[in-house]
Amino acid sequence: MLASVKAQTLEESEVPKYTLPALTILNNGKDVKTAKVWESKRRDEIISLLKNEMYGIMPKKPKRMVFKVFDMDSTAINGKATRKQVRVIFDKKADSIFMDILIYIPNKIKQPVPLILGLNFAGNQEALNDPKIKITESWVSKKSKGAIKNKATEASRGNAEDVFPIERMIDEGYAAATIYAGDIDPDYLDLNNAVQSLYPKLQNRKDNFSTIGAWAWGLSRAMDYFEKDKQVDEKRVVLTGLSRLGKAALWAGALDQRFAMVISTESGKGGDALFKREFGESVDRITKVFPQWFCLNFDKYANNVSQMPFDQHMVLALVAPRPLYIGTAIEDLNEDPKGEFLSLKAAELVYKLFGFNGLPINQLPKVNQPIQTDKLGFHIREGKHGITAYDWHNYFVFIKSRL
């Protein structure tokens, strides 16, 4: 049984007074006045704070990693695309630990093509109703549609076509790639299994990389592959993610500057929303319901949010000066839409250091009124937690003029 969880605030009037940790003051107390000092000094300070206290430290790029293209078919999606499936074995001496990248590349484009990447919740076979996609053999949640005893089945093919619209991406001239998050690290409490088992020296450390950290690490390994794939323009890779996978996309995009753009949908606490508002999902809940997501050091903030020396505006600021879009929904109170907006609003300071615009407003915008500046995007749509055609419409507008 789960230990009792502190009640969650859904009343704006109960939001405590808080001060966000400063983005542009160095640990030695000096102001960061230029993008150069941000890049050369403050960025690293913030990254080590977030690694130590929240997401865990991360291993470097593995030396013995191998990529095996085990499927290639130029007749996919009615001849519009080439499907590739690539197995990434992180360490050739431990080949039972791998992730499979599913990639579709538009056939009409002959030069290296920009790509949209996102993790998926229950196996690559969910991404498109294409019988040639390998069904994941990794653990999947029992809640996944079609899962039997934590294994994916044929019944799950194409379940998530709306979440990550591959055919639309192909039609718009982008390659699409997806990876099952659970190939990298299954979403249950075991901080030493899957990819973490490759790094025994990190085990039992309070700053060992967590599940969200592992997913982010896996996204960077996908980028290692794209750098080698001549059909992909690795300088134009957009990272996307919904909800917990948005948390991972943001963290990967924050750390790995090879990603050209990040789009996060309703990633909430541990993603784009401010913890210090203490509105919606609490740190107490997230550390008890999902103890695998963050490193053990993070648990000490469960009922101690005011003492946190960091908050999520720092993660967003690390994406600067690259384009960043946050999408949310009015009924998704668990993720705290206002806290998602205010987090982006706080992060704009760093975009301004680089000479780019901040958001033209100070308050959460009205529903269905998207804002797009030179580098930032935000919308709050009507409806519940999830991702809709409306979200994707706005993302494509943003991507087209900024990638």
Binding of ligand GTR by 337 (CB under 6 A): no
**Minimum CB distance to ligand GTR smaller for 139 or for 174:** 139
Q: How far is the CB of 269 from ligand GTR (least distance, A)?
A: 5
Q: Is 343 a catalytic residue?
A: no
Nearer to ligand GTR, 175 or 283 (CB): 283
Residues contacting ligand GTR: total by CB under 6 A: 6
> Which of 159/334 has CB closer to ligand GTR?
334
Min dist. Cβ of residue 273 to ligand GTR (A) = 9
**Known catalytic residue: 385?**
yes
The distance of closest approach from Cβ of residue 34 to ligand GTR in the complex, given in angstroms and rounded to an integer, is 35
Q: Is 269 among the residues that bind ligand GTR (CB under 6 A)?
A: yes
Residue 124 or 334 having the CB closest to ligand GTR: 334
Contact 318, 254 (CB under 8 A): yes
Catalytic residue among 141, 197, 220, 385: 385
Q: How far is the CB of 165 from ligand GTR (least distance, A)?
A: 19
Task: Work out which of 334, 339, 348, 377 binds ligand GTR, going by CB under 6 A.
Answer: 334
Contact 5, 286 (CB under 8 A): no
Among the listed residues 243, 264, 282, 343, the single catalytic one is 243
Task: Name the residue nearer to ligand GTR (CB basis): 90 or 139.
Answer: 139
Nearer to ligand GTR, 207 or 332 (CB): 332
By beta-carbon proximity to ligand GTR, the closer residue of 90 and 215 is: 215
Among 268, 321, 327, 377, indicate the residue that binds ligand GTR (CB under 6 A): 268
User: Measured over all CA atoms, what is the biggest interatomic distance in the chain, rounded to whole angstroms?
Assistant: 60
Q: What angle do CA 246, 250, 254 make, to 5 degrees?
A: 170
Does the protein bind ligand GTR through residue 281 (CB under 6 A)? yes
Shortest spacing between CB 130 and ligand GTR, in angstroms: 25
- Least distance CB 281 / ligand GTR (angstroms): 5
| Contact pick of 51, 84, 236, 244 for ligand GTR (by CB under 6 A) | 244
Separation CA 403–CA 396 (nearest Å): 10
Instruction: Give the nearest distance from C-beta 89 to ligand GTR in angstroms.
Output: 28
Radius of gyration of the chain (CA): 20
Scan residues 341-400 and list those touching ligand GTR (CB under 6 A): none
Q: Of 240, 243, 312, 328, which lies in the binding site for ligand GTR, with binding defined by CB under 6 A?
A: 243
Residues 82-141 that bind ligand GTR (CB under 6 A): none
What binding mask, one character per residue, do residues 28-47 give for ligand GTR by CB under 6 A, x or -? --------------------
**Contacting positions for ligand GTR (CB under 6 A):** 243-244, 268-269, 281, 334
Active site residues: 243, 385
